[in-house]
Amino acid sequence: MTISKTKISDAGEIVVIAKNSEGEVLASAMLDVYQTKDFRHVKLKPTSFMTIDELHEREVRWQKEVLGSLGEAFEKAPKADQQKLMRIERSKSPTEPLESEELIEKFTKPKNEQFYNQLTYIETTRPTFESMKLEDVTLKPGHIEKYEPAKETMERVELRAAPKVEKEAAP
């Protein structure tokens, strides 16, 4: 059996006693503690900071690894001319506004009466099902009083003084 988080001072004989009304039982076992190697006994080396050039090299190397053969194709491809791109953008037809007249009119025109009638129809209460209706119960007229719980009374008990006990002085 392996017990983690033990100290070297825990090694030795362990005695366990179990007692109950039937009697008591004694059991003993030897506990051996072995030290396992972990990183705590190794002194950590100091941090070496990377220079900007090393970081740049690392980024370039990472990009080449990620892109693979596509990276070379991107480098060889002709670059876009900014002025040419701007001319093409301007020559395109003007963009349509997001809010067209039809859309604005749809939300600003007043609704007709039929629309409001449909809303009130939705809001009206629906009749309940026959199985959910409750029977009408007629109550007899009677006298109503506020509920008052019955008052409990305690039995009268004659108390007498307890006899005085003298304390013995400790020897």
Residue type at 62 in one-letter notation: W
pLDDT digits (tens, 9 = 90+) for 146-164: 888 888 888 888 888 888 8
Do 6 and 23 meet the contact criterion of CB atoms below 8 Å apart? no
Tell me the three state secondary structure of residue 107.
Answer: helix
Q: Record the tokens describing residue 59, joined without a space.
A: 């980024």
Q: Record the tokens describing residue 113, joined without a space.
A: 């009466």
pLDDT digits (tens, 9 = 90+) for 26-75: 999 998 888 777 777 778 888 889 899 999 999 989 988 888 777 778 88
CA dihedral sign, ordered 126, 130, 131, 135: positive
**CA-wise closest residue to 10 among 38, 29, 37:** 29
Tell me the three state secondary structure of residue 148.
Answer: coil
Q: Count CB-CB contacts under 10 A for residue 67.
A: 13
Domain limits, the chain: 10-37, 52-91
